[in-house]
Structure 1
Amino acid sequence: MGLDYVSCCPLGAHQAHADAVDFRRNAFGLSPAGFRMREEIPEGDSVQLTIDTKTDSYEQAIAAVQAAYGLNPAPVASNWPTAPMVEARPGPETLSSEDLWEGWTDRLLFDTVAAVMPGARAVLRRLVEVGGTATYDDIREHFIDHPQTPIPQGKIGGVLTSVRAVRRRIGPRNRADVLQLGDRVRVYRIEPALLEGLKRAFDLADARPDLLRQEPTSS
């Protein structure tokens, strides 16, 4: 609900009305839509304050009620603690669009990291951790009994099909891949120029796991 209603019995209805209006104008500059009072208030009747919780702060509401009772709202305004600043959450829009290599940018690297399946993401992260190059056997041994993302023997290639599938729709308009495989020696390799950008992509992935693709839920 956008509006809350507070009724109170003033010490003097007309004086309270004047105090509240004066408070709005001089102390807080509230528009009439913020705190509205009935124009005609018979002596002895209550005063109705309409508080818009979407636009009026808590301390403004308290101060207006004090004004309606003929009290000085200044202590509320001066002594109310300042609300802490809320730091904005980082997002992909904060990443650079500068060309790192063959059209790859920080943003495209993050989009790739976010879009691949968790197993493929874990392999990419491992390759970044070891400097961008590792043999098939190194990757297989690392993940076969991995506590978070185990990959059975012989399944590494299948897991990494997610990277190839994502590459068809994310990435620069050329044939440059994030992950390359040497067919003869079975070595996985990431272009060195992309390593720092991938580190930044994984930093954002750690800060915003809600943006990452997850394993499909089983029915």
Structure 2
Amino acid sequence: MTEGGLVRLTIDTETDTYEQAIAAIQAAYGLRPVPPADWPEARAVEPRPDPQDLSSDDIRDGWSDRTLFQMIASLMPGARAVLRRITEVGGTASYEDVQHYFASHPTAPIPLARIGGTLTSVKAVQRCIGPDGAGPLLQRDERARRYCIDDTLVAGLTRAFAMADARPDLLRGGPAGPAT
């Protein structure tokens, strides 16, 4: 049994026999059957990474790797994809580059005129999740028509997105792979 009474069971249908599968289910529910003599040893389960594994040390203005993960986990999927893209290109991207990247994106297209609206959840989530008194995580320079993220926060966001890739089940909008 795992935490919360849930049972996680993996049966390899190519190598496990029917009897082994039934015995595994019975064992998972505590019925203690006698396992077949030819039952192979169970593989070790890799521990899943957890957001608590991320650092809570202040990176800048109260942001930590953990709060950055909480921020991206709470974003709408479109806003998360845009923030990831800006992070991937080093923290600075022109409005046009971001618009054109997502206009023709194969799995997460965002129409040209909708990028700004897609990003409204960034401010809203930061107000709820972000540290008090911190400047905007994603800054917009209207004159230069550029999105900017502070360099020190780009590194933290990179670590937070790596955790998001490992644990998509923790993200708002359900499991989804990285936007590429």
TM superposition score category, shorter chain reference? 0.7 to 0.9
Which letter maps to 1:214? G
Match for residue 5 of structure 2?
none
Q: Provide structure 2 residue ranges, at least 5 long, that are not aligned to the other structure.
A: 1-25, 175-180
**Equivalent residues of 2:87, 2:154 under 8 A apart:** yes
2:160 to 201, 204, 210: 201
1:81-160 equivalences in 2 (<5 Å): 81-160=40-119
In structure 2, relative to structure 1, the CA distance for the partners of 1:57 and 1:148 (3 Å cut) is same
* Matching of residue 175 in structure 1 with residue 158 in structure 2: no
Which letter maps to 1:149? A
Q: Provide structure 1 residue ranges, at least 5 long, that are not aligned to the other structure.
A: 1-50, 63-75
In structure 2, relative to structure 1, the CA distance for the partners of 1:84 and 1:157 (3 Å cut) is same
CA drift of 1:139 comes to: 0.7
Match for residue 4 of structure 1?
none
CA drift of 1:151 comes to: 1.0
* Matching of residue 185 in structure 1 with residue 144 in structure 2: yes
Which letter maps to 1:154? A
Which structure shows the bigger proportion of residues in strand conformation?
A: 1
Cα distance in structure 2, aligned partners of 1:132 and 1:175? 17
Match for residue 23 of structure 1?
none
CA drift of 1:110 comes to: 0.6
CA drift of 1:86 comes to: 1.0
- What does the per-residue CA deviation read over 1:91-132, in whole Å, with 9 as the maximum and x for residues that have no partner? 211111011111100111111111111111111111111110
Aligned residues: 149
Which letter maps to 1:136? Y
User: Cα RMSD between the aligned structures?
Assistant: 2.4
Which letter maps to 2:68? L
Match for residue 170 of structure 2?
211
Identity among equivalent positions (%) equals: 52
SS in structure 1 at match of 2:147: strand
Match for residue 10 of structure 2?
none
SS in structure 2 at match of 1:195: helix
SS in structure 1 at match of 2:93: strand
CA drift of 1:83 comes to: 2.6
Which letter maps to 1:173? D
Q: Which has the larger radius of gyration?
A: 1
TM-score (norm 2): 0.74
- What does the per-residue CA deviation read over 1:146-169, in whole Å, with 9 as the maximum and x for residues that have no partner? 111111121111000010110110
In structure 2, relative to structure 1, the CA distance for the partners of 1:53 and 1:107 (3 Å cut) is closer
TM-score (norm 1): 0.61
